[in-house]
């Protein structure tokens, strides 16, 4: 697979993958319902629903919501829209056509609207077949059918970005602050989890301060700007050991909270040991 890194793992846009010769574009499904298709290419009235569809399947393809902004954005949507020739199908006044087709914002909205049109078309067909317009199962069937297009489209991008994220998960202060906020209270949660599962209490190291990647060598003076990293370890009854390292700005406690949060994510996914808790 084409890499989207540059030098020291500085990420490029997923557009690099889209433009690679070996990228496999799935065929765009046709909106078979005439009413929905006309609405999509006349009013673009379904863009909000389209964004939800993209986010839903982007997350289902990999399960990591942290990368959403890199995959669900106007730049990516515009590129996909133009690849499938969607802007050219929009019905506008003659004076507006040239301006519309050159606008990235509007081109991206066509793609979002098209996805929503597909979804509603699938849902209507499923409801008609089931004989129940209000059955929520028809929405699930529509999502599953839409996924046959979205999952192969987004999965290569998710996998590549995930690999970059795993190799350099803290490439900005914003990333650290977001994870610190997300992990608040995780040490207490992990302690409770271990008590319920009759595991040893979690172990934490003494931690250390270090210079983050976003601070240039020129600016690394004294201690100002350094952040904490610390590890959390949990020992399972089968002898397995889970150790995760967290990073936090301000205090060692924040780094240990992040580490505990990462351990919890592993534990919650180990159904062979714990099931649902």
Which domains occur in the chain, in start order?
Answer: 5-167 (1.10.1520.10), 173-268 (3.30.160.20)
pLDDT at 60: 45
pLDDT at 260: 92
Region for 222 from its dihedrals, namely left if φ exceeds 0, alpha if ψ lies in -120 to 50, beta otherwise: left
H-helix segments, 31-73: 34-43, 47-62, 68-71
Q: Taking a C-beta distance cutoff of 8 angstroms, is the pair 232, 200 a contact?
A: no
**Mean pLDDT lowest among 93-102, 147-156, 171-180, 230-239:** 93-102
pLDDT at 68: 61
pLDDT at 270: 67
Report helix, strand or coil for 146: helix
Of 203, 182, 198, 165, whose CA–CA distance to 261 is shortest? 182
Q: What distance separates the 2 farthest-apart alpha carbons in the chain?
A: 72
Average pLDDT score over the chain:
75
pLDDT at 5: 39
In whole angstroms, what is the distance from residue 115 CA to residue 152 CA?
15
Report helix, strand or coil for 19: coil
Which residues lie below 8 Å from residue 24, measured CB to CB, with a gap of 6+?
152, 156
pLDDT at 93: 62
User: For the segment 200-217, what is each residue's pLDDT rounded down to a tens digit?
Assistant: 999 999 999 988 877 778
Residue 43 tokens, joined: 């009013």
In whole angstroms, what is the distance from residue 82 CA to residue 114 CA?
12
By percentage, how much of the chain surpasses pLDDT 90? 19
Of 120, 137, 145, whose CA–CA distance to 29 is shortest? 145
Of 136, 146, 141, 144, whose CA–CA distance to 125 is shortest? 141
Give 262's Cβ-side CA count (13 Å radius). Answer: 21
Q: How confident is the model at residue 42 (pLDDT cuts 50, 70, 90)?
A: confident
Q: Please give the radius of gyration of the chain, using alpha carbons only, rounded to the nearest integer.
A: 23
pLDDT at 131: 62
Give φ, ψ of 88 to 5 degrees: -70, -15
Residue 166 tokens, joined: 């795993």
Q: Taking a C-beta distance cutoff of 8 angstroms, is the pair 82, 103 a contact?
A: no
The better pLDDT of the pair 60, 33 is held by: 33
pLDDT at 69: 60
**Mean pLDDT lowest among 30-44, 81-95, 173-187, 261-275:** 261-275
User: For the segment 19-34, what is each residue's pLDDT rounded down to a tens digit?
Assistant: 777 788 999 999 998 8
pLDDT at 14: 65
pLDDT at 135: 55
pLDDT at 45 over 60: no
Helices 74-83, 104-130: axis angle to 10 degrees equals: 70
Residue 61 tokens, joined: 């393809």
DSSP class of 64: -
User: For the segment 134-186, what is each residue's pLDDT rounded down to a tens digit?
Assistant: 555 677 788 888 889 988 888 887 777 666 555 555 556 666 777 788 788 88
With vertex at residue 237, the alpha carbon angle to CA 276 and CA 270, rounded to the nearest 5 degrees, is 30
pLDDT at 13: 55
């Amino acid at each position: 697979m084409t890499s989207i890194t540059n030098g020291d793992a500085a990420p490029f846009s997923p557009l690099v993958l889209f433009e690679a010769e070996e990228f496999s574009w799935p065929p765009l499904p046709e909106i078979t319902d005439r009413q929905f298709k006309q609405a999509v290419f006349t009013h673009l009235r379904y863009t909000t629903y389209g964004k939800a569809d993209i986010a839903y399947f982007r997350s289902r393809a990999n399960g990591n919501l942290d990368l959403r902004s890199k995959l669900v954005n106007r730049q990516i949507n515009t590129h996909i829209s133009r690849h499938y020739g969607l802007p050219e199908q929009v019905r506008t006044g003659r004076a507006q056509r040239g301006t519309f087709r050159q606008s990235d914002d509007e081109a991206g909205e066509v793609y979002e609207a098209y996805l929503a049109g597909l979804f509603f078309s699938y849902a209507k067909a499923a409801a008609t077949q089931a004989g129940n317009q209000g059955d929520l199962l028809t929405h699930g069937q529509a999502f599953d059918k839409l996924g046959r297009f979205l999952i192969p489209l987004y999965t290569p991008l998710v996998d590549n970005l995930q690999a970059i994220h795993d190799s350099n998960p803290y490439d900005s202060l914003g990333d650290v602050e977001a994870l610190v906020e997300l992990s608040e209270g995780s040490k207490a949660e992990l302690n409770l989890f271990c008590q319920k599962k009759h595991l040893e209490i979690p172990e934490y190291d003494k931690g250390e301060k270090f210079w983050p990647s976003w601070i240039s060598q020129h600016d690394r003076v004294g201690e100002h700007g350094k952040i904490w990293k610390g590890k959390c370890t949990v020992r399972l009854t089968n002898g397995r050991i889970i150790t995760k390292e967290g990073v936090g700005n301000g205090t060692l406690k924040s780094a240990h909270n992040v580490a505990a949060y990462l351990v919890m994510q592993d534990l919650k996914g180990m159904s062979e040991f714990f099931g649902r808790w």
